[in-house]
Amino acid sequence: MAKSDSSTDPASAPLPARRRLLDTATRLFYALGIHAVGIDRIIAEAGVAKATFYSHFPSKDDLVVAYLEEQDRIGRAAVAALPKLPPRRMLSAILGRISTAGMAGDFRGCPFLNAAAEYTDPVSPVRRAIDARRAWYHGVLRDLLAADGDPAPEVTASLLVALSDGLLEIAYLDDPRSVPALIEAGLARLLVAR
């Protein structure tokens, strides 16, 4: 599931309005789809005034970009928190996050792929946020492949991104329990034998 950055103690003061809006949008966008959720519903469920919404997010697209940028930060932090392993094992650990996500009971696919399906204009701010995430992910894989001695790390990284996209869809649409074996088989076929 798309995760929220909120980490407040229930006994503490209420969350600031911006945080409530972003948490509400994250929950609704991920569960129902971005275009299916109107601003009025987000405002009502977050318990803020319309003027408060617009003071934080001038448009719904600004909220969508904030949602995707937060998902990106959370994903990058999760990869950074992985134990430092040799490159090949690190690649396996990174792709293994797909399996972990898919086994969560509320998994509804990749928030970036879901958003891309709803935003077809490649120059929209939403698509630029998605592109930034994909470029980062590709770069991480490429750098690990280069460190592992892959003769064409740019191409192999693109293949691993495509594999990741497919695995995310399999984890949502098919049996998520099949993902670990598919990761192992995919890496065995794509990585240069040593």
Long-range contacts of 35-43 (CB under 8 A, 24+ apart): 35/118, 39/63
Q: What pTM was computed for the model?
A: 0.89
**pLDDT over 80 (residue 2):** no
pLDDT value of position 5: 58
**pLDDT over 70 (residue 7):** no
Report CA Rg, the chain.
18
**Is residue 177 a contact partner of residue 98, using CB atoms and an 8 Å limit?**
no
pLDDT value of position 8: 47
Domains of the chain in start order, with CATH, are: 9-58 (1.10.10.60), 61-190 (1.10.357.10)
Over the chain, what is the mean pLDDT? 92
**pLDDT over 70 (residue 10):** no
State the pLDDT confidence band at 86, using cuts at 50, 70 and 90: very high
**pLDDT over 80 (residue 181):** yes
**pLDDT over 60 (residue 176):** yes
Q: For 40-69, write each residue's pLDDT tens digit.
A: 999 999 999 999 999 999 999 999 999 999
**Is residue 150 a contact partner of residue 191, using CB atoms and an 8 Å limit?**
yes
pLDDT value of position 4: 62
Torsion of CA 182, 190, 76, 80, to 10 degrees: 100
Q: For 20-47, write each residue's pLDDT tens digit.
A: 999 999 999 999 999 999 999 999 999 9
Torsion of CA 79, 83, 87, 92, to 10 degrees: -70
State the pLDDT confidence band at 105, using cuts at 50, 70 and 90: confident
